[in-house]
């Protein structure tokens, strides 16, 4: 069977046109960051959140894409600077790029998906030539207020060509938690090809599928995370677009991510960790359909256990509130059918989310100050990736008898 014949019967890989086999179905899901006003209930967009793996290149990808225009709007509410841990991380990234790559005053750095400018403001303050590209006008405005220059736009071949014409080629193109979000990834690589200097590097960080599998982080799957990257699949992907994967570094961000460094072929030495990680992935079955089928079974168990626990607590008259109105919480609540009857509200520090309802599940989002007024009996930690920071900040909650509920890799009270 050639790939065109297979395409008519099976979903087709966005990258290599190979057959994609479905393995996880998380059901009907909303736009994970579309926190809605009470008067807008009934106007939400939903899609089927299902994931499959390509039999040829092993890229894990969603079977249906939520349109980009629904996800990344001017009022996209996520702000990178809502966590101290992320603030420290992006300051480190900026310092590393400044000291190793952006050493000449003429060097230009471009950030794809700069959001509120956490990374760029450090480089801007150090006098580095920079520009961020992000369609979220609200976040871009916050970035500008911090001294980062931002173009409110999607990064694609067109905007990349315009940036090059205006400012010259980029020595570094950086992106965190954005490349995996873009189903139409050809646009990204065509843009990078237009904009990157011949000796430049394209560095991107994204969640690592091996960590998602190992820790059953099923809530890292939502509309925005269209691809779940592995080293094997990214290595093949960048080669297809005429680039070379030269380095990979494991970082603890968002429960486990990889920082990929990509260059034009032959320009930079390829570090041996690339081949080593691909071998490790083969040993752990990261490219195998069966691995993801087992992951799906684990998700079923977590969902059933979580609903049973929340139901028992409610029936026993205990107060449970959600902590952190994350994108991840949209997957958990909509997959499990958890609504305000089980979790009456979610506390969150982001002004853009407060006073709204959570997507799909319609759980009210309330300001962080409400958490201690009075403390609930239990807090369901949707922002588990910031657990250390949150638990340190909320020591009084535990001292007053409060307990945390965690649900990955399994449901438990701590």
Binding region for ligand SAH (CB under 6 A): 72, 76, 78, 80, 112-113, 115, 133-136, 139, 154-155, 176-178, 181-182
Q: Are 407 and 306 in contact (CB under 8 A)?
A: yes
Q: Are 255 and 385 in contact (CB under 8 A)?
A: yes
The 3-state DSSP class for residue 32 equals: coil
Cα 258 from Cα 206, distance rounded (Å): 6
Residues 9-28 contacting Zn ion, CB under 5 A: 13, 15-16, 18
Residues 68-87 contacting Zn ion, CB under 5 A: none
Of 43-51, 54-62, 209-217, 329-337: span binding Zn ion (CB under 5 A) = 54-62
For residue 25, list its beta bridge partners.
50
Return residues touching ligand DWN (CB under 6 A).
Answer: 78, 82-83, 177, 224, 324-328, 348-350, 353, 368, 383, 385-386, 389-390, 393
Q: Which is nearer to ligand SAH, 23 or 160 (CB)?
A: 160
Q: Are 243 and 262 in contact (CB under 8 A)?
A: yes
Q: Decide which of ligand DWN, Zn ion, ligand SAH, none touches 16; Cβ closer than 5 to 8 Å per partner kind.
A: Zn ion
Q: Taking each helix axis from N to C terminus, what angle separates 289-315 and 327-336, rounded to the nearest 10 degrees?
A: 80
For residue 27, how many other CB atoms are within 10 A of its CB? 13
Closest distance to ligand SAH from the beta carbon of 176 (Å)? 4
Closest distance to ligand DWN from the beta carbon of 143 (Å)? 15
Closest distance to ligand DWN from the beta carbon of 379 (Å)? 11
Q: Which is nearer to Zn ion, 148 or 188 (CB)?
A: 188
Q: Which is nearer to ligand DWN, 62 or 82 (CB)?
A: 82
Containing 27, the helix (H) or strand (E) segment is: strand 20-30
Q: Decide which of ligand SAH, Zn ion, ligand DWN, none touches 112; Cβ closer than 5 to 8 Å per partner kind.
A: ligand SAH
Q: Which is nearer to ligand DWN, 160 or 379 (CB)?
A: 379
Tokens of 14: 């966005």
Q: Which is nearer to ligand SAH, 122 or 295 (CB)?
A: 122
Q: Decide which of Zn ion, ligand DWN, ligand SAH, none touches 390; Cβ closer than 5 to 8 Å per partner kind.
A: ligand DWN
Closest distance to ligand SAH from the beta carbon of 393 (Å)? 19
Closest distance to ligand DWN from the beta carbon of 318 (Å)? 22
Containing 277, the helix (H) or strand (E) segment is: helix 273-283
Cα 198 from Cα 17, distance rounded (Å): 29
Of 37-45, 46-54, 166-174, 222-230: span binding Zn ion (CB under 5 A) = 46-54
Q: Are 108 and 132 in contact (CB under 8 A)?
A: no
**Residue 384 CB-density burial (10 A; 0-12 exposed, 13-18 middle, 19+ buried):** buried
**Residue 414 CB-density burial (10 A; 0-12 exposed, 13-18 middle, 19+ buried):** exposed
């Amino acid at each position: 069977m050639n790939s065109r014949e297979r395409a008519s019967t099976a979903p087709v890989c966005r990258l290599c046109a190979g057959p994609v086999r479905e393995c996880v179905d998380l059901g009907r899901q909303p736009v994970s960051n579309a926190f809605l006003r009470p008067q807008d209930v009934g106007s939400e967009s939903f899609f089927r959140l299902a994931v499959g793996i390509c039999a040829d290149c092993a890229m894990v990808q969603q079977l249906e894409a939520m349109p980009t225009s629904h996800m990344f709007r001017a009022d996209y509410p996520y702000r990178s600077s809502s966590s101290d841990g992320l603030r420290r991380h992006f300051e480190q990234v900026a310092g590393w790029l400044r000291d190793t790559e952006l050493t000449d005053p003429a060097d230009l750095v471009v950030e794809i998906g700069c959001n509120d400018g956490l990374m760029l403001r450090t480089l801007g303050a150090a006098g580095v030539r920079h520009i961020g590209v992000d369609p979220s006008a609200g976040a871009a405005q916050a970035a500008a207020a911090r001294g980062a220059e931002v173009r409110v736009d999607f990064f694609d071949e067109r905007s990349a060509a315009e940036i090059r014409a205006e400012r010259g080629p980029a020595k570094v193109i950086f992106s965190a938690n954005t490349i995996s979000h873009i189903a139409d990834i050809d646009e990204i690589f065509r843009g990078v090809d237009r904009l990157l200097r011949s000796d430049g590097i394209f560095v991107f960080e994204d969640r690592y599928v091996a960590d998602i599998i190992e820790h059953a982080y099923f809530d890292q799957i939502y509309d925005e995370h269209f691809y779940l990257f592995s080293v094997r699949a990214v290595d093949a992907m960048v080669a297809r677009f005429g680039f070379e994967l030269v380095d990979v570094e494991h970082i603890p961000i968002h429960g486990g991510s990889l920082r990929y460094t990509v260059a034009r072929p032959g320009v930079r030495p390829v570090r041996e960790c690339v081949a080593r990680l691909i071998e490790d992935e083969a040993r752990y079955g990261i490219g195998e359909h069966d691995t993801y089928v087992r992951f799906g079974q684990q998700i079923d168990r977590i969902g059933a256990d979580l609903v049973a626990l929340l139901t028992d607590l409610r029936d026993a008259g205990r107060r449970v509130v959600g902590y952190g109105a994350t994108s991840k919480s949209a997957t958990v609540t909509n997959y499990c059918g958890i609504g305000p009857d089980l979790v009456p509200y979610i506390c969150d520090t982001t002004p853009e989310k407060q006073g709204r309802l959570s997507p799909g599940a319609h759980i009210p989002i309330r300001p962080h100050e409400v958490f201690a007024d009075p403390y609930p009996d239990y807090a369901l930690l949707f922002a588990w990736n910031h657990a250390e920071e949150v638990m340190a900040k909320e020591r009084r909650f535990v001292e007053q008898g409060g307990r945390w509920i965690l649900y990955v890799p399994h449901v438990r009270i701590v």
